[in-house]
Chains A and B, each alone.
Chain A
Amino acid sequence: MKIVVLAKQVPDTWSDRKIDLESGLLDRAASDPVPDEINERALENALLVKDSTNDAEVVVLAMGPEDANKALRKLLSMGADSAVLVNDPALTGSDMVQTSRVLAAAIDKIGNVDVVLAGNEATDGRGGMVPAMVAEILGWPVLPGLDEVAITANEVSGRAQVDGGTLRLSSACPAVISVTEKTAEARFPNFKGIMAAKKKPLETWSLADLGIQAGPEAASVRSVMVSATARPPKQAGPKITDDGTAAAQLADFLISNRLV
């Protein structure tokens, strides 16, 4: 069984993340790049399959800048068998459609993939659409937002929380799964894994390697960034003086702002 785990390098959640207001792109110099935590949970689900069977191969796939190798090395140190980074100057500023096209083409090139595992959304863009788009392009079913995942040789299944209930989903392979933060807690990186990671294959592919084009003409739909403006400064919140109705005023505030 071959499992591909989608990975992404994101700006450190704890740092001050910034957009370059001229280009509308992420200001990569403003914060440290780190592997997105949700990738580690996706990987953990794959590694659990690898732990329980002898024939599972786990490939980590990312599209990103050259230094995204660091994020991939970390995932290799946690137990993935190999990694692929798609890196091409033409991919700078890709939207979700272009990202999904590239990832789907890479999955196709990896070949014989049974399951694609991804986080439900990255901590930077938070679009949450890429797993479904990749599935659509590949023509595979998608099992989105799973809190629990079960993967066998021929079938994937799981449970997803939705408004007012729980969905139980299953599908034959191949399929795409996205997982939430409620799934498997990622294992710690370990010393032997760190040492082994540098010997594991990490390939870098360009668009030419994938045989696809990028840019506005390459996809039938695309998102266009019209303008970017700085976040307005925070406004001071309302001040409630207790004249005997403070509790009611607080409750009104919370309700009107949909905070409860």
Chain B
Amino acid sequence: MKLLVNTTGLTEDQKAIREAVLEILEATLPKEEIRRIDDVKEFPHAAYDALAESGFLGLFFDEEYGGASASYKDITNFMETLGYHYAGIGQAVMITSIYAGGHVAKFGTEELKHRIIPGIINGSIKMSIAMSEPGTGSDVAGLRTKAVRQDGGWVLNGTKVWISGAHVADYLVVIAKTDPNAERHQGFTTFLVNAKSAGVTINPLQMLGRRTTHANEVVLENVFVPDEDRIGEEGKTWKNLMKALGLERLGLAAISAGNCYRITEDAADYAQQRIQFDQPISKFQVIQHKLVDMWIMAEQARQATYRVAELLDAGESAIEETSIAKIIATENNFKVSDIGLQVYGGSGYAMEYDMQMYFRDSRVGPIGGGTNEIQRNVLAKRMGL
């Protein structure tokens, strides 16, 4: 099979990381295993543990906590590689290390960082971020989960939904309103909740795709959280959420960009095997153009994503570019899977081929991590509209 990812421009270390990660994933998460865990909705434990054991989860964290203080480009390369192999392993890593772990790493106390981060790096601690609620999706500021002060800590009550990976999490990073009288975007505080705490109930939800890191409902009933497990200052979470968005969206874009390449390569491979009218369908210009369009979209997603990494590494906030990359990469990911499904024809619609999984898995991209409509709102605002 012709591999389409051009690694020119990556450092020798980044290329070595890409090759090592793919070697680990091919051994611990081969295609047959991906199909199996997708079917039974099982978290990719073996691959996740192997990545942790080999030290790659340290990329996201500072050296003083056992990490590698990696650059944004290093992280992009890693996440793109995961997404290239299987979007679900990218998602699995991102949920703990970027979404939830990022809050501990950026805003936690030193004690909390030393207590939690080494566990994330060695794979013994998995986490999940619990933000959305039944009445709160894009309107994050409208969330209603409450945290009320009690001796030595806080008591949380509320219901969270669409909480990816909560079913395997050891800790939940929960956003709750601590000041009911504060203005809409104020009075929120972040808490580290032990997922085994009394009062925490996690109910798996049936989802169209990304089944191996599926969403859950998380119900919090009088859950006590000690003071030392508060993340960041009381009432300052909104500001922190905004600060964490860059890396979150970069991670999402990188997984999608990598996944675009996998889908394109699979479709090109299939088109070269599939015989119609006495020749491989890849010989028909109409199919060639579809495959080329897929490749263009993959490359477009990749370039937009690496551009964000470059800007973030240069110290820029890259707010517009991050939203743009998230839109391009996630929408291209779904478009590529849609065209790929058409190239496969009836086989693409059949469960025995992977294309239907790519189609299902990629559909969440424009919805999660801040819908693409919200991203466009951000951009419209930046345009002064």
Contacts and interface: CB of A to CB of B under 8 A. Distances in A.
B317 interface: no
Contact of B17 (A73, A188, A194): A194
B66 to A, nearest CB: 10
B12 A190 contact: no
Given A191-B54, A191-B55, A191-B58, A198 B12 contact: yes
B50 interface: yes
A192 B55 contact: yes
Contacts of B148: none
Interface stretch (B19-27, B37-45, B279-287, B377-385): B19-27
A139 interface: no
Q: How large is the interface on A (under 10, 10 to 19, 20 to 34, 35 or more residues)?
A: 10 to 19
B68 A188 contact: no
B61 to A, nearest CB: 12
Contacts of A188: 20, 23-24, 27, 50, 53-54
B16 A74 contact: yes
Interface in B45-67: 50, 53-56, 58-59
A182 B260 CA distance: 37
Contacts of B50: 188
Interface residues of B, number: 17
B151 interface: no
B13 interface: yes
A74 B24 CA distance: 14
Contacts of B56: 190-191
| Main SS class of interface, A | helix
Contact of B54 (A74, A190, A197, A198): A190
A189 B27 contact: no
A226 interface: no
Contacts of A74: 16, 19
Contacts of B54: 188-191
B22 to A, nearest CB: 10
B38 to A, nearest CB: 23
Contacts of A189: 16, 19-20, 23-24, 54
A77 interface: yes
Q: Could you say which of A73, A77, A188, A190 has the most chain B C-beta atoms within 10 Å of its C-beta? A: A188
Contacts of B23: 188-189
B95 to A, nearest CB: 20
Contacts of A73: 12, 16
16 contacts: A73-B16, A74-B16, A77-B20, A188-B20, A188-B24, A188-B27, A188-B53, A189-B23, A189-B54, A190-B20, A190-B54, A190-B55, A191-B55, A195-B68, A197-B16, A198-B13
Given A189-B24, A195-B68, 19 more contacts: A73-B12, A73-B16, A74-B16, A188-B20, A188-B24, A188-B27, A188-B50, A188-B54, A189-B20, A190-B20, A190-B53, A190-B54, A190-B56, A191-B54, A191-B56, A191-B59, A194-B20, A198-B12, A198-B13
Sorted nearest first, the 4 A-B pairs with minimum C-beta distance are A191-B55, A189-B20, A190-B54, A194-B16
